[in-house]
Structure 1
């Protein structure tokens, strides 16, 4: 995959190549390895004997930790140099074999996992790299499981087949990456028409990954980050858009996050007056319309539309987004009622007009229902003792 994307124009930063570079003869990295694991990890010509090092490090967790403690800082520093040197408008591909093991996925705009089944991995390590089979199996057993890799993957590519079988898929991925990079450079958010898709269990995993990414981007400036909206409710048909809520302490904090969110692939959308329905002002004593204010961002990724609602902790809109999601999860009748409303709204919007006009008609149908739904959801929250801290 890296070779194809590099040929197409991506700037490839290969962690494997960097790992070799930082332990070349004469480097501080090689000297540190010899000091830790002994001179027997060297070949007669002074080069690192990788099978000898693997035999010492990969069969023992403590030894592997010492190895990583030496190599990872060196690899990280060199990686940062190469990434910083890449042109500002380029697609930078970081090829990181241990990304999942290191829990690094949230730091990237998109994570692509190239999968190869275990038997084929062993064969390639033995036949192509000359690694003893025992060492190959020990290395694989020390790595992330397939389930862990799937959980981290925004894109899953199965490369277990013959050479070249994956080429067309990677070329299609390149089109997505180009569009994503252009959208980030131009602060363009992806907006989609209000067309309902069948409930998809994949939405939960996609939401979880985006929540982790937003937590990484926002850091301590976010009180919490949640997957909200219809895609967070199992069994509910929805627009194929992941809704996320970033809770902040005040609107100044929301504005301070704008540049970071845009750089991470979530540019701000200026006009949000029609973005989502608001219950009538005055409900529950919340008479100040400004208490429903928020900041709205949307994903620049053409392959995964998402909306990011940045709301103030404790304000009615922030609480309602969480309560409404959990009410629908807990009450199948309310969920079915809402689904019927969404279907009628989608039918009213389905006339082939532009996205904004269609969205306006969609909300014209939905909004009146929310006045009563607000009372019902908040009543459910009070009756059940719901608190945001529980979720």
Structure 2
């Protein structure tokens, strides 16, 4: 199943997005609803809250008075963290139970207001953030929830700001317009990305690559890599000895195909062929069938073996190279990246070469550049630079 994290600040319209996704067929797991369930009367969660904050947070019927509790914790960070230590583990356990009960082909959307704050982003295949201007949120909170401006501002300040949410967002849905416009954006997301992603994930199939001609450098490529690397790290744990952003998109200012190249260092290719391959596929990075090698430098020696994975996400192409740590191919990828970062003249020469070869053989894409004699010359230049600067991987 495809697991989607949905978040947004209070008053952003996140619930409207969740409702629309439910209409399209998503299974919604609402963290707020689960949070109410785990502190219902008679539960261990409610008992622990009363022990921590006294029975002043209970209403006349003995249920949790959320307004009274909120008045305590949103004005006191230490109190809020104490409450989170009680509720968050219970919410996670119950959420896992609900997700496990969904169908294998489900798109499960976990609606989590504090997704960023509790560091859950790497646990999802995709994170969707609903973003709305603060003045609009304040107006909605006053109109729809009867909240005073001071209380609304406190609630907003207690959550992550827009910049922190955007840092983990694979998709940002802006909700400053009409409900109809929001629905159109959700429908497009469902049709163009979520449904194909789920099918590719279930079939363990890499999304079709499409055409990726060199584009102007995108300043968000490192942020996109960071989100992907966090998912890979979550899936592989300590079995990923090192994860690096490599290739053209790892060189600031270099125009490149919009494909993120990632290198994962492992102990052996035998490890890469077993459970690691399954875990990568489950995280959204299926194995690319066939045998894969890197062209050695200088040319002529035995080829360097590796394993290659791609992305099941149709909107985020990835080449994930699994190489043995400290192997020649692993070292070469890091050396070339770092030399191009350090030498603007070689960056320019590399870009001209790529464009010329892609114009000549567009079907080969950037992979065709590795066979050009320029790379032998660049390898020697890079080795000289490494010796002069005492470079280490």
Q: Using structure 2 for the length normalisation, give the TM-score.
A: 0.90
Aligned-partner Cα distance in 2 for 1:126–1:50: 18
Aligned residues of 2:292 and 2:305 also touching (Cα < 8 A):
no
Question: 251, 254, 267: which one pairs with 1:249?
Answer: 267
Find the residue that maps to 2:261 and give its secondary structure: strand
Aligned residues of 2:212 and 2:257 also touching (Cα < 8 A):
yes
Find the residue that maps to 2:130 and give its secondary structure: strand
Find the residue that maps to 1:111 and give its secondary structure: strand
Name the structure 2 match of 1:48.
64
Structure 2 counterparts to residues 20-99 of structure 1, below 5 A: 20-99=36-115
Seen in structure 2, the aligned counterparts of structure 1 residues 333 and 360 have a Cα distance that, compared at 3 Å, is closer
Question: 307, 316, 321: which one pairs with 1:295?
Answer: 307
Find the residue that maps to 2:126 and give its secondary structure: coil
Find the residue that maps to 1:122 and give its secondary structure: helix
Seen in structure 2, the aligned counterparts of structure 1 residues 193 and 367 have a Cα distance that, compared at 3 Å, is farther
Aligned residues of 2:292 and 2:307 also touching (Cα < 8 A):
no
Aligned residues of 1:43 and 1:49 also touching (Cα < 8 A):
yes
Aligned residues of 2:129 and 2:172 also touching (Cα < 8 A):
yes
Name the structure 2 match of 1:332.
344
Deviations 1:125-153 (A, max 9, x none): 33323334333222211111211111111
- Structure 1 portions without partners, runs of 5+: 351-357
Aligned-partner Cα distance in 1 for 2:390–2:298: 24
- Structure 2 portions without partners, runs of 5+: 1-16
Q: How many Å apart are 1:366 and its aligned residue?
A: 4.8
Q: How many Å apart are 1:288 and its aligned residue?
A: 4.7
Name the structure 1 match of 2:256.
238
Seen in structure 2, the aligned counterparts of structure 1 residues 209 and 365 have a Cα distance that, compared at 3 Å, is closer
Aligned residues of 1:345 and 1:366 also touching (Cα < 8 A):
no
RMSD between aligned residues: 1.9
Structure 2 counterparts to residues 220-369 of structure 1, below 5 A: 220-256=238-274, 257-273=276-292, 277-280=295-298, 287-289=301-303, 292-350=304-362, 358-359=363-364, 363=368, 366-369=371-374
Question: 171, 175, 187: which one pairs with 2:187?
Answer: 171
Q: Using structure 1 for the length normalisation, give the TM-score.
A: 0.91
Moved more, 133-142 or 222-231: 133-142
Q: How many Å apart are 1:387 and its aligned residue?
A: 1.4
Aligned residues of 1:194 and 1:362 also touching (Cα < 8 A):
no
Name the structure 2 match of 1:376.
381
Q: How many Å apart are 1:187 and its aligned residue?
A: 1.4
Q: How many Å apart are 1:188 and its aligned residue?
A: 1.1
Aligned-partner Cα distance in 2 for 1:29–1:132: 29
Deviations 1:296-326 (A, max 9, x none): 0000100111110001111111011111111
Aligned residue pairs: how many?
374
Q: How many Å apart are 1:9 and its aligned residue?
A: 0.9
